[in-house]
Amino acid sequence: MTMINLNSKMSGVETSIFAVMTKLAMDNNALNLSQGFPDFNPPEELLQLVNEKIHSGFNQYAPMPGVPALREKISEKVFELYGRKYNPVSEITITAGATQSLYTAITTVINKDDEVIIFEPAYDLYIPVVKACGGIPVPIQLELPDFTYNWNAVKEKISNKTKLIIVNSPHNPTGSILTQEDINALEEITRNTNIIIISDEVYEHIIFDGQKHNSLSSSKELSERSFVISSFGKTYHSTGWKVGYTLAPEKMTDEFRKMHQFITFAVNTPVQHAYADFMKNKAHYLALPEFYQSKRDLLLKNMKGSRFKFTPTKSTYFQLFDYSEISDLNDMEFCEWMVKKYKVAAIPLSPFMSSKSDYKLIRICFAKKDDVLIEGARRLRNI
């Protein structure tokens, strides 16, 4: 047998913690509050629309940058919410989920030895993809207790090799959000540089307690150097359909599309048409803060009396719990123990950190039916 030397481009990369924990949940017949996806269906009207589009013949390749009607709707929404007009023809590209947007944007800009500033805890995709492109991740810790940005640390880490800064707000896994002061700091730091920004805003509509999402598109200066990325999966309870999008100025979009055309070329046609129609009713995304805030509050109300400590999350559908009064196990061991013994699956925080630091924090996803949240909290209270 020939032994092929693959010479891995992804050495040291393990199976994503989301896949690992979902499998553990299934193997242990546990409640899966780990991987971030709703356990309920998208709205019936949206299901009907997809059905209708399939039966109306929208079943062949979409245009490479995406269905025009959908790009129009995104352009309108972004203008209304964040005040920036992106040209639907030349500045908006539909992708196979934010995952493909992120991968495409990173591979579009990163060459060997380019440095990339990444804030940790960081979504698991950023660092491996930067490394696969030959780039050098430069991790900076968000500061406890609220996972806030230390812009002085950023200034110190910026060098003449810094090509890219990746920000993520609302933030997975901590729920922290970029403030207007953060946007101002980012403007100041990147002014008169060639630094590009990727802004991962997939939870843009899931933000609580009356706060507003500060999109990088709302800053003229930052929008001129940013790929702003979002996903319909989070907004319309349809993570399995894998449709997202990237906003960027024309020149950056041109480069992005050169890569995009060889990654997927085009994205699911009937779903794009259905989203375009569905977006006409803004109530769906405008109601999300209230919808998910009541789920957060239900979960936390039912956690009263538990030994876990927590501060209500500001955004996303994730809540962090501190288990330091319960166990000395590291967070991975704790999650394995919890799924086996108490039949609840959660996500440990250390996989979001290149240092693998153990904050004794776990992440619970509350995009679940109310009875599942009540039962999940009951099990967690018993620990």
Of the pair 100, 269, the CB lying nearest ligand GLN is at 100
Helices (H), 236-282: 250-263, 269-278
Q: Which does 332 bind (CB under 5 to 8 A by kind): ligand PMP, ligand GLN, none?
A: none
**Distance separating alpha carbons of residues 346 and 349, to the nearest angstrom:** 10
Across 96-243, where does the E strand assignment appear? 115-120, 136-141, 162-168, 196-200, 226-231
For residue 231, the minimal CB distance to ligand GLN (Å) is: 9
Residue type, 351: P
CB nearest ligand PMP: which residue?
97
The reply to whether 202 sits near ligand PMP by the rule CB under 6 A is yes
The reply to whether 35 sits near ligand GLN by the rule CB under 6 A is yes
- In the set 38, 88, 97, 128, which binds ligand PMP (CB under 6 A)? 97
Task: Extract the tokens encoding 182.
Answer: 């953060």
**Distance separating alpha carbons of residues 176 and 146, to the nearest angstrom:** 7
**Distance separating alpha carbons of residues 175 and 289, to the nearest angstrom:** 13
- Strands 115-120 and 162-168, how do they pair? parallel
**Distance separating alpha carbons of residues 56 and 76, to the nearest angstrom:** 26
Q: Which does 244 bind (CB under 5 to 8 A by kind): ligand PMP, ligand GLN, none?
A: ligand PMP
CA-wise closest residue to 164 among 173, 172, 174, 154: 154
Give, as ranges, the residues between 118 and 137 that touch ligand PMP (CB under 6 A).
Answer: 123
**Distance separating alpha carbons of residues 202 and 36, to the nearest angstrom:** 12
For residue 72, the minimal CB distance to ligand PMP (Å) is: 21
The reply to whether 98 sits near ligand PMP by the rule CB under 6 A is yes
Residue type, 259: M
CA-wise closest residue to 203 among 285, 125, 311: 285
Is the backbone peptide bond immediately before 312 cis, with ω within 30 degrees of 0? no
**Binding window for ligand PMP (CB under 6 A); candidates: 19-27, 93-101, 279-287, 331-339:** 93-101
Of the pair 257, 368, the CB lying nearest ligand GLN is at 368
For residue 285, the minimal CB distance to ligand PMP (Å) is: 15
- In the set 93, 172, 223, 246, which binds ligand PMP (CB under 6 A)? 172
The reply to whether 32 sits near ligand GLN by the rule CB under 6 A is no
Quickly count helices (H) and strands (E) in the chain.
15, 12
What DSSP string describes 79-97?
HHHH-----TTTSEEEESH
The reply to whether 348 sits near ligand PMP by the rule CB under 6 A is no
The reply to whether 168 sits near ligand PMP by the rule CB under 6 A is yes
The reply to whether 315 sits near ligand PMP by the rule CB under 6 A is no
Give, as ranges, the residues between 17 and 36 that touch ligand PMP (CB under 6 A).
Answer: 36
Q: Reduced to 3 states, what is the DSSP secondary structure of residue 21?
A: helix
- In the set 100, 108, 169, 172, which binds ligand GLN (CB under 6 A)? 172
Place of tokens 């999650």: 335
Give, as ranges, the residues between 225 and 254 that touch ligand PMP (CB under 6 A).
Answer: 231, 233, 239, 242, 244
Of the pair 17, 252, the CB lying nearest ligand PMP is at 17
For residue 318, the minimal CB distance to ligand GLN (Å) is: 7
Q: Which does 98 bind (CB under 5 to 8 A by kind): ligand GLN, ligand PMP, none?
A: ligand PMP
Task: Extract the tokens encoding 344.
Answer: 């609840």
User: Binding residues for ligand PMP, per CB under 6 A?
Assistant: 36, 97-99, 123, 168, 172, 200, 202, 231, 233, 239, 242, 244
User: Binding residues for ligand GLN, per CB under 6 A?
Assistant: 16, 18, 35-36, 172
